[in-house]
Amino acid sequence: MSEDSGLARLADFVAHTPRLAVLSGAGISTASGIPDYRDDHGDWKRAPPMRHQVFMASHAARQRYWARALIGFRTLQQAEPNAAHRALARLEAAGRVAGVITQNVDGLHRRAGSRRVIDLHGRADRVRCMGCGASRMRHALHAELAERNPGWLDTGARAGPDGDADLEADFAAFRVPACTRCGDGIWKPDVVFFGDSVPRARVAEAFALLEEAEGLLVVGSSLMVYSGFRFAREAARAGKPLACLNLGRTRADDLYTLKVAASAEAGLAALVEALEAVAPPPADGVTADTSTSEGTLRP
């Protein structure tokens, strides 16, 4: 199947499957400059991310994590929504998407204008004390880290996924503050690390969205992590049609009604243009700027 014919079939799928649930992964944010973890075969391109148990048990692991994050998180902070995020917001405004379940922690769906977003793995812009439950914005903690570790921000390193950085150094002198509310609590990003579980209420919310929707569209995810794969499996069990827009292999390849190999930004932008050519969006749709270096989505 050529990319053009695949995108035409995807437009037909969306047109005939009202109020889709969308499950998005790292592949939707790579065009915003945020690296991903896996290659087109679903295999790791780099060392797996921090595990929850290691982070909680080891001060040295936390020193390494926060030292790298102080450098790498700037990429996440500076990232802007791309054509794929904006296209999904337009589809939601047009009534074609019921909501987005995202495995990403970058917040770009909301910034693009999507209203119903379930952050399955949490939000990277907040931190939480694992002792008393206090929370604060992550930029405030990073400012404190920079103050306690002068000169560290000048360290050069390539950004990694989810605010990490490819940096190996002696982290023994890196100072990590404890929670001032309880005195010795551990600050952790308000995200689900590997080895941890997605909160039950959040899982239930995602399943409720899937039950409400008529079908599921997977965008930019290999679904190698079970926390995302289970929604594709449940949609198939419930007899709901599934489509996938992704470059490379996924864990659910044998479940899809339709799979299209194309980048998320090019595929979704073309999808919106095709659908809007048939039925223009409502007057109160998303009004965010939708221009891109590759072209412009019709207003």
Judged on CB neighbours under 10 Å (0-12, 13-18, 19+), 289 is: exposed
What's the CA gap between 225 and 251, in Å, rounded?
9
Look up tokens 């959040």; give the residue.
202
Closest residue by Cα to residue 29 from 40, 21, 37:
37
Q: For residues 271 and 258, is the Cβ–Cβ distance under 8 A?
A: no
Per-residue tokens: 16: 């005939």
Distances (CA, A) of 26 to 73, 100, 188, 222, 281: 16, 14, 21, 9, 27
Look up tokens 């109020």; give the residue.
19
Sign of the CA dihedral 47, 49, 53, 59? positive
Question: Residue 134, SS3?
Answer: coil
Q: Are strands 158-159 and 165-166 parallel, antiparallel or unpaired?
A: antiparallel
Q: For residues 278 and 15, is the Cβ–Cβ distance under 8 A?
A: yes
Choice among 85, 121, 139, 142 that is catalytic: 121
121 catalytically annotated? yes
Per-residue tokens: 42: 């679903």
Please identify every residue annotated as catalytic: 121
